[in-house]
């Protein structure tokens, strides 16, 4: 993984972790500045997708660590999120 992607993956993991925990344990949210974004996403997306999205992110990180193409791995990740949302 290119150095900057390690930081980006860490940020994405934190974002999706917070999203998963938003309703059940809001006091554990790390990125409080995204509170409104989490609320907006919760209003538009079925909640059962959030753990699946987090798992897809871990799969993407694994692909990147296995020297998969950065562009193809990220394209696949975001396309899967879009397809899941419908």
CA angle 65, 69, 80 (to 5 degrees): 90
State mean pLDDT over 38-62: 92
Closest to 19 in 3D by CA, of 1, 80, 45: 45
Q: Which tokens sit at 64?
A: 């990147």
pLDDT bracket for residue 85 (50, 70, 90): confident
For the stretch 2-41, pLDDT in tens is 778 899 999 999 999 999 999 889 889 999 999 999 999 9
């Amino acid at each position: 993984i290119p150095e900057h992607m390690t930081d980006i993956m860490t940020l994405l993991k934190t974002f999706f972790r917070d999203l998963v925990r938003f309703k059940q344990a809001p006091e554990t949210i790390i990125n409080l500045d995204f509170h409104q974004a989490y609320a907006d996403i919760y209003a538009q997306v079925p909640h059962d997708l959030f753990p699946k999205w987090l798992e897809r992110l871990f799969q993407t990180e694994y692909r990147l660590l296995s020297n998969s193409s950065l562009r193809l791995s990220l394209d696949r990740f975001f396309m899967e999120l879009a397809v899941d949302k419908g």
